[in-house]
Structure 1
Amino acid sequence: MTRDAGTYVFTLYVAGATERSDAARSNLRRLCASRLVDGYEVTVIDVVDRPELAEEHRILATPTVIRIAPLPQRRVIGDLSDERRAALALGLPDSAELSEERGGDD
C-alpha cells in the first residue's frame, strides 16, 4: 500500500474488549474524521492477544495510541475523551487550520 505524504498513521494498543478500549477506539476515529482532511489509517492491536508487540513497542499502559506518521512519533495514554487535549498531544491540525484547508471563511 502506498501512503500519501499527508496521511496520518496511528497504532492503538488496547487490552481486551473493555469499555475503555471501545471508548479509545471510537474517540480516535472520531478525532481523526473531524480533523484530518488528507486521510488517516488506524491499526488496533489487542495486547492480550499480541503481548509480544506490547513488549516490543514498550507499551506500559492501555489504551495507548502512537502516531507513527508523520514523524516525529507521538504517544498518548488514555481513552482520548478530551478531544482538544488529545488533538494537541497527537499534533493534529486545529479547527482554524482545517477551515483554511477546506477553503472555509475566517
Structure 2
Amino acid sequence: MTPQSVSAIANVKKICEEHLQGRYELEVVDLYQKPQLAAGEQIIAAPTLIKKLPLPLRRLIGDMSNTERVLVGLDLQKKA
C-alpha cells in the first residue's frame, strides 16, 4: 500500500467514526494484491473510496484529508 493510501484509510476511518459512530462497513482492498477488482469496480485511480449504500453510488478519489468534501461525497453534509 502506498503512503497516500494509508493516509486515506486513516482519514476515512476517523471521519466515519466521528460522523457515523459505528454505523458503517468499511472494506479495504489492496489493488496490488487484487488487481482484478479495479476493473470490476471501475477504479481508475487510487486511493478510491466507493460508497455503495445508501444509493446513489459515489466514488471519491484522493487522500480523503478534506473532511467537508468527504462528508458531501458521502451525502452526510450539504454542499456549502
- Pairwise same-fold verdict (TM > 0.5): yes
Q: 2:76, 2:50 → 1: CA distance?
A: 13
Structure 1 unaligned segments of length 5 or more: list them. 1-16, 95-106
Q: Specify the alignment match of 2:27 in structure 1.
A: 43
Aligned pair 1:72/2:56, yes or no?
Answer: yes
Q: Cα RMSD over matched residues?
A: 1.4
Identity %, equivalent residues: 38
TM-score by length of 2: 0.89
Identify, as 1 or 2, the structure richer in strand.
1
| Offset of residue 18 of structure 1 | 1.7
Which whole-Å deviations, capped at 9, do the CAs of 1:41-98 have from their partners, x for residues lacking one? Answer: 100011111111101111000000000111111110011101011111121247xxxx
Could you say which structure has the larger radius of gyration?
1
Q: What is the count of residue pairs matched by the alignment? A: 78
- Give the stretch that moved more between structures: 19-28 or 30-39: 30-39
Q: Which of structure 1's runs of 4+ aligned residues deviate more than 2 A?
A: none
Unaligned runs of 5+ residues in structure 2 are none
TM-score, length-normalised on structure 1?
Answer: 0.69
